[in-house]
Amino acid sequence: MSSFKENDFQKIIEGRHAVHDFDPAVKINRTELTQMITESISAPSALNVQPWRIVIVDSPEAKAKIKPLMPANAHQNETASALVFFFADLKAAENAQDIYDQTVKAGKMPQEVSDHLVTIIKNVYDEMPTSALVATFTLDVALPAMQFMLIARAHGYETGPMTGFDHDKIAAALDLDPTRYVPVLLVAIGKAAQLSAGSVRLPAEKILSFR
């Protein structure tokens, strides 16, 4: 994690606002996009199953192909350097063995604990109804998506999160199996042509209680 241009956490957090208008001349190279995703997927997930699948749309052809699926956000499609789709992989539990084998190999867990957890993961996720699986994995996938918005600012870029796209058609348009991959969030990234006016939050007193 040595690639941050901005390390002032307060600036990163307080300056983040959804950008709707990007500078179309700015391109972000795929090495840096990959680096930002690597940093973002340090996010936690339930049982460390890491059910995220990420598709970055940065070619003019792919952007044009999906533009009809996001009419309300067409301007971000046209101007952002890249459109980063975060999907939940409903078959992510298939990776559990690999994840826990690597954890043991790295000396971070004893074999018997790993074996126990892999069994639990298979039992829990194999028996879970699809609606519960979508809810569980959506929560997991939202975490790297949020990290990505902040990490983008640490790299000197702005973002705009979006759910305004055709959720039923986007997976197939990106050559993913729609029965397996459920869209969670789209994050546009680039340099802002125009920053938003910002937004307000209800105060903590209104939404917080202590017991």
**Binding footprint of ligand FMN on the chain (CB under 6 A):** 17-18, 20, 73, 160-164, 185, 196, 199
Q: Which residues of 138-176 are buried (b: 16+ CB within 10 A; e: fewer)?
A: bebbbbbbbbbbebbbbbebbbbbbeebeeeebbebbeb
Q: Find the shortest distance in angstroms from Cβ 120 to ligand FMN.
A: 30
Nearer to ligand FMN, 38 or 163 (CB): 163
Q: Which residue is nearest to ligand FMN (CB)?
A: 164
Alpha-carbon distances, residue 175 vs 33, 35, 51, 56, 81 (angstroms): 20, 23, 18, 12, 21
Q: Find the shortest distance in angstroms from Cβ 97 to ligand FMN.
A: 32
Q: In which residue are the tokens 């999160």 written?
A: 161
CB 46, CB 143: distance < 8 Å: no
Nearer to ligand FMN, 19 or 174 (CB): 19
Contact residues for 136 (Cβ-Cβ < 8 A; gap 6+): 46, 128
Q: Find the shortest distance in angstroms from Cβ 68 to ligand FMN.
A: 15
Nearer to ligand FMN, 47 or 174 (CB): 174
State the virtual CA torsion across 54, 60, 63, 66 in degrees, nearest 10.
Answer: -120
Nearer to ligand FMN, 129 or 203 (CB): 203
Q: Find the shortest distance in angstroms from Cβ 196 to ligand FMN.
A: 5
Q: In which residue are the tokens 């042509």 written?
A: 193
Nearer to ligand FMN, 66 or 162 (CB): 162
Q: Find the shortest distance in angstroms from Cβ 18 to ligand FMN.
A: 4
